[in-house]
Amino acid sequence: MDKQVIKADVPETGGPFNLCVRYGNQIYISGLPPFEADFAGKLREARAKGAPLPPFPDIPFEQQARIVMDHLKELVEAAGSNMDCLLKVIVWLKDQRQQEEFDRIYRSYFSGTDALPARTRMQAGRTPMDCGLEVEAIGYVP
């Protein structure tokens, strides 16, 4: 078995990691912050120049949660799997008071209650760039 780096239409920031790796039928997805293409491009540019990183834009939490979950779904599908094949998800929220809003959005990405993966959700001391959340996952390819 060879380790495969999985690419999808998910913005990369130029950080020292791959967003998704597949090994055999297992997939590992790095912590995904709610970075859209424009902001990720600014991060890459700043890193390349050794300049200060730009501040995270003021985006409503609901939009941030959808960005993260959409990116997670894109990576899972690019690896040849689907959201129902996630086994473990870890969620870091900047503010635990947003848990109900996050859970409402999160549930909509799975086919039903039985398909939900094991999950840990916690309040982070600090999220990347002070965004609202970060999500990582482990799953399999059926």
pLDDT single digits (tens) 111-126: 999 999 999 999 998 8
Question: 62: which 2 tokens?
Answer: 């609901």
Q: What is d(CA 137, CA 98) in angstroms, rounded to the nearest whole number?
A: 20
Cα–Cα distance for residue pair 7/2, rounded to 1 Å: 16
* pLDDT (tens digit per residue) in 61-79: 999 999 999 999 999 999 9
Q: What is the pLDDT of residue 87?
A: 98
| DSSP character at residue 24 | T
The 10s digit of each residue's pLDDT in 10-58 is 999 888 899 999 999 999 999 999 999 999 999 999 999 999 999 999 9
Instruction: Reply yes or no on whether the pLDDT at 128 is more than 90.
Output: no
